[in-house]
Amino acid sequence: MSSGSGFSESLQSKLFMIVAMLLFTACSSKSLVDHPTTRSALWVQNASEYDAQCIQVYSVATQKLNDILSEQIKKDSLISQKPYAIIVDVDETVLDNSPFQARMILKGSNYNNEDWNEWVNEAQAEAIAGAVDFLTFAASNDIQIFYITNRDADTEEATFSNLSALGFPLNEDIDVLLTKYEREDWNSSKINRRAMVKQNYEVIMMFGDDLNDFYDAKNVSSSARDQIVINNRDKWGNSWFILPNPIYGSWEQSIFEFQNTLTETERNKIILNSLNPKN
């Protein structure tokens, strides 16, 4: 009888442990699913529609470049001009860092410099769909490609080898990978680096996933950002090409009015207030 009771107690305690573990697993996986970037990272990594949009952007750009090259042949006999260049951003424009975001979600963490640079130094990001073919086509037509990125200067070598291994056109003779603070005045705004390229080249196209890849929109309000987009209406799809990035970007910082010290409750309130139910 006593041994039967002991067995029952042991079974009960085992059952209790199993139920507790299941509850813990359910709770922890629920909180990971609730990470602010889970749905957007899920979309980037799993929706075929994401690749389709990227291919669409680079396909339109290829047609536009063909038009520009045809025009150039006509103009060449008339005027001399600076050599052509194309400026591309790196992250989420030519390289896909969604595995980094997946790591952050799965360990319940957020973007931080240490984890980010560790990922960058692994140099195993894959190419955004359509990017290698387009830039290879441009380079084969003697167009210089410049990569302007806010990756840290000390990750330049890893970034270069990542791009190179994927077949992106690079140049060993001149610096075409312009990283943040590689020079003192190369801050995150990118305007100084764009200006430097424009000194010697005619920039015919720019590619990015963030408004700041085209126009200095640092600390600019959401409504002013909308105005920048509208004011440059003619450039989109002609000389400015934007890739989708629902995971992160300056759009999000503008919603929070560039405040870095908000509590989670304050952030959640702003998020709900930023939704427009039109009633």
User: Which residues contact Mg ion by CB under 5 A?
Assistant: 89, 91-92, 209
Residue in the shown chain whose Cβ atom is closest to Mg ion:
91
84: part of which helix (H) or strand (E)? strand 84-88
Q: Which is nearer to Mg ion, 89 or 96 (CB)?
A: 89
Question: 242: which 2 tokens?
Answer: 């934007």
Task: In whole angstroms, give the CA distance from residue 97 to residue 113.
Answer: 14
Q: Which is nearer to Mg ion, 63 or 194 (CB)?
A: 194
Q: Name the pairing type of β-strands 95-96 and 126-127.
A: antiparallel
Shortest CB 245 distance to Mg ion, Å: 7
Q: Which is nearer to Mg ion, 169 or 244 (CB)?
A: 244
Question: 67: which 2 tokens?
Answer: 């038009």
CB 127 within 8 A of CB 166: yes
Task: In whole angstroms, give the CA distance from residue 120 to residue 224.
Answer: 32
Q: Which is nearer to Mg ion, 72 or 117 (CB)?
A: 117
Shortest CB 92 distance to Mg ion, Å: 4
Shortest CB 166 distance to Mg ion, Å: 16
- How far, in whole angstroms, is CA 128 from its chain's centroid? 10
Shortest CB 249 distance to Mg ion, Å: 8
